Chains A and B, each alone.
Chain A
Amino acid sequence: MSGFKDTGHLFRFAGLFVLAFLVFLVVRHYIVPKSFGEYGHYRGAAMGEIAARPAKFAGHESCEGCHSDVQEVKMKGKHAHVNCEACHGALIERMPAAPQPAPSLYRRLIALVTPPMPVESPFVRHADDPGSVIPPLPDTAVLCVRCHTASAAKPKGFPQVVPADHSQGLACGSCHKPHDPGMNAGGAK
């Protein structure tokens, strides 16, 4: 073509684009995580990673495995549907994190511009070794009032008292058994 020699520079410019696009395709092939797109526009492996996170509340069924006697008492009273960990807290305790080795220079440089991932500390489960990890007994003077302090905001049928008037300063546990708190049928101390 007669005009071709005068358009050479345009082809050079276009060539830059083609080159960049090819480099992009190659890099993309290596960078994009393999499980991306498996179920949708996201990294499929993420679900497994999230699902593998450790649980801290064991769930009442695991408590009932060993503490069936408490379960029997509880099922007869007003707290039948209140789960163990609602009052006793999470069954799984955190241990302090193991000392970390000093980060390499590379890691420290990266940490300047990118936030580091927080260090996870391991757990100890009461169910694994009931003797070594004993969840502390909740203090009834503090625990019970959270739910049962009278307030105009709470549902009318819900059992609620003004603590100072009701017990004259005594802790709730002085009179009520927490697992079967009703005063009339077997709950009184």
Chain B
Amino acid sequence: MNGVEGYMYPNEITLYWSVLIVLYPYITGLVAGAFILASLERVFRVEAVKPTYRLALLTALAFLLVAPLPLVLHLGHPFRSPEMYFTPHSTSAMAMFGYVYMWYLMAVLVFEIWLDYRREIVLLSQSSKGLLRLVYRIMTLGSTNISKQSLAIDERVGWIVTLIGIPSAFLLHGYVGFIFGSIKANPWWSSPLMPVVFIFSAMVSGIAGVMLLYMAFTKLHKEKIDMRCVDTIAMYMFYIFVIDFSLEMLDLVHRIYEADESFRSLDFMVHTKLYFSQIVVQICLGTVLPLLLLFITQIVKLPEIARKYMYSISGCLALIGIFAMRWNVVIGGQLFSKSFLGYTTYKMALVTREGLLVAIGLLLLPLLFLWVLMKLLPPWAEKSAHGTVAAN
């Protein structure tokens, strides 16, 4: 049997959940994390991160729009996916997806963005020309009321939406963790910690993502990076990363200590098949190293240029590390046999529907969406072709 060592149940030899299923939690994780960063300012009044508020929301939206794609592309019958809306099975965590997604997209993210941008949308619907004018007019939903009172109401309602949005973001990503964590058949997945670990690592990835995007876009526009903002983001990222790391270590120590039936098989797998992706990439490069770099920035007063480099490198490493974590969970969970007697190999295709090229495309697509969104709804004051639009 090519790629099989030891004994695997015959039906287990092929992996059924491919790299696309690795991508889905990664993308929704970025969404949840970006939203939490936005909520830091809106709900918890962390003034310092204000410059990233709108960018975080737009990033969340860009990634959320792409999020269903890996799932739909993976399905054997994608056109039957509306069945999840019409007959969701109440005992299945996966069945939640349709409704949680729709709720989060429309009642939280789109609603909040709309409320925050409404003034600009109305102004742009009056000042722009052609097709763009039509787009903005539709976005106003026919209401051009941007009086002080209406904007004050928007502010209040937006605050409530963000408040509700925080547990919604946890639900959006936490249920994915539960999809894995509730499978008693798979000891690599089955754990009550799974949803919590997913949420905290999501927060790290989302915050790192927005921080990097902010630094990149500001540099692209030849503006000055607000260091107070970036310092604060990095601090939050550091603390959340510490919690995430602690949770993962707790899971690991618990497993090693209890050493149940599955332990030897999983231990062997981590030291052989998953060595590179788990020990090298996820733990050393993707967690310990960025934590170390961030820790240094927290205790040593470094010059601005050094901090920028440290933050950028930590951010990139964290993003890679958290992708590796999703990989190790999804792919790792299918590499070992449920008989605990063997292992198989994941042969990732290149050009098929579930192949590497599609995965790369799905990672780049949100950036394209983000670019479009930023053109449509500029996050910062821009001297653009259709006049300046003052940001909040």
Q: A31-B86, A32-B86, A41-B89 are in contact. Are A12 and B150 (CB under 8 A)?
A: no
Asked if residues B85 and A24 are in contact (CB atoms below 8 Å), the reply is: yes
Question: What sequence of 0s and 1s flags, for each residue 86-97 of chain B, a beta carbon within 8 Å of any chain A beta carbon?
Answer: 110110000000
Q: Is the CB of A6 within 8 A of B85?
A: no
CB proximity to B under 8 Å, residues A67-124: 113-115
The listed residue with most A CB atoms (<10 A of its CB), out of B86, B107, B153, is B86
Within 8 Å CB of B76, what residues of A?
115
Q: How far is the CA of A6 from the CA of B144 in the complex (A)?
A: 10
Q: Which of A12, A24, A41, A115 has the most CB of B within 10 A?
A: A41
Please determine whether A9 and B149 come into contact, CB atoms closer than 8 angstroms: no
Contacts A24-B85, A114-B79; is A6 near B141 (CB within 8 Å)? no
Tell me which of B78, B79, B89, B143 contacts A9 (CB under 8 A): B143
* In the complex, A8 has a CB within 8 A of chain B: yes
**How far does the alpha carbon of A13 sit from the alpha carbon of B113 in the complex, in Å?**
13
- Which residues 78-110 in B have Cβ within 8 Å of A in the complex? 78-79, 82, 85-87, 89-90, 106-107
Chain B positions near chain A (C-beta within 8 angstroms): 76-79, 82, 85-87, 89-90, 106-107, 111, 114, 118, 140-143, 145, 147, 149-150, 153, 157
Q: Cβ of B114 and Cβ of A41 under 8 Å apart?
A: no
* Residue of B87, B106, B118, B157 with highest tally of chain A CB at under 10 A: B87
Interface residues of A (CB under 8 A from B): 3, 5-10, 12-13, 16-17, 24, 28, 31-32, 36, 41, 113-115
- Residues of B with C-beta under 8 A to A12: 141-143
**Which 8 pairs across A and B sit closest by C-beta, in order of nearness?**
A9-B143, A6-B150, A12-B141, A6-B149, A28-B86, A32-B86, A8-B143, A41-B89
What is the distance, in angstroms, from B312's C-beta to the closest C-beta of chain A? 38
Contact A16 B149 (CB under 8 A): no
Q: Which residue of A lies closest to B90 (CB)?
A: A41
Nearest chain A CB to B245's CB is how many angstroms away? 40
Indicate if the CB atoms of B153 and A7 lie closer than 8 Å: yes
- CB pairs A–B below 8 angstroms (30 shown): A3-B149, A6-B145, A6-B147, A6-B149, A6-B150, A6-B153, A7-B150, A7-B153, A8-B143, A9-B118, A9-B140, A9-B141, A9-B143, A9-B150, A10-B153, A10-B157, A12-B141, A16-B141, A17-B106, A17-B107, A24-B85, A28-B86, A32-B87, A36-B87, A41-B87, A41-B90, A113-B78, A113-B79, A114-B77, A115-B77
Q: B107's closest neighbor in chain A, by CB?
A: A17
Chain B hits for A114, CB < 8 A: 77-79
Task: Give the docked Cα–Cα distance between A16 and B147 (Å).
Answer: 23
Give the complex CA separation of A6 and B145 in angstroms. 7
**Alpha-carbon gap, A114 to B78, bound state (A):** 8
B293 CB to nearest A CB, Å: 43
Which residue in chain A gives the minimum CB-CB distance to B76? A115
- CB B139 to nearest CB in A, in angstroms, measures 11
Q: Which residues of A contact B79 (CB under 8 A)?
A: 113-114
Closest A residue to B353 by beta carbon equals: A113
**Apart from A8-B145, A12-B143, A115-B76, 12 more pairs, CB < 8 Å:** A6-B145, A6-B147, A7-B153, A9-B118, A12-B142, A17-B107, A28-B85, A28-B86, A31-B82, A31-B86, A41-B87, A113-B78
